[in-house]
Chains A and B, each alone.
Chain A
Amino acid sequence: TQLLEQSPQFLSIQEGENLTVYCNSSSVFSSLQWYRQEPGEGPVLLVTVVTGGEVKKLKRLTFQFGDARKDSSLHITAAQPGDTGLYLCAGGSEKLVFGKGMKLTVNP
């Protein structure tokens, strides 16, 4: 069974700080996806990484896929209150496996 472990599970920081979220597995994934979910809403896709070692940037968010395609990280630079939400990583093809998520709170 493929599992994805995310860390940290909770993070509360001040506006302007940087943070990194990790998503780790003992299994190899053909691709990994990162989602952001706000309270009362469904997850919204941020990015998909497919190549080992790949780095993708989305404004202040930087996503990296590990060389062995078993792990991924999300780095947020100069966090804003609007970044508050639940960040989920997911992997797999037809059957997506999700991590438990990292609940981020950015205080003004």
Chain B
Amino acid sequence: ETGVTQTPRHLVMGMTNKKSLKCEQHLGHNAMYWYKQSAKKPLELMFVYNFKEQTENNSVPSRFSPECPNSSHLFLHLHTLQPEDSALYLCASSRLGTSGGSETQYFGPGTRLLVL
């Protein structure tokens, strides 16, 4: 138990569906992240939020839409996904260091997404 929870743990959706992934951190952190983990590829950073403000969008297609209502919650809204979007989606959180960089990132268990 890392203090970062994600729901749902598994999700199957069609290409026309709209769904949302939820992440919650109980660590008092002020930075949150979405990563995509596909087979045979390194973990890919998708989005970064610092103090609820998006500071990084790593060229992610618009069919992925993040939302960070407060520093403890992070959502990833999904619509009209493609089969190649099937992957493990990981949420992480960290504190921001005094120099502006992040400290250790703690990961949630991930949501295994299958797009049919």
Q: Which residues in A have some Cβ–Cβ distance to B below 8 Å?
A: 4, 30, 33, 35, 40-45, 48, 88, 90, 93-101
Contacts and interface: CB of A to CB of B under 8 A. Distances in A.
B107 A93 contact: no
B96 to A, nearest CB: 8
Contact-residue size bin, chain B (C-beta under 8 Å from the other chain): 20 to 34
Interface of B: 2, 4, 6, 9, 31, 40-43, 45, 48, 55-56, 90, 92, 96-97, 100-102, 104-110, 112
Contacts, number: 57
Given A40-B112, A93-B101, A100 B4 contact: no
Given A100-B40, A100-B42, A101-B42, A45 B90 contact: no
A98 B38 CA distance: 13
- State the majority secondary structure of interface residues on A: loop
A93 B97 CA distance: 9
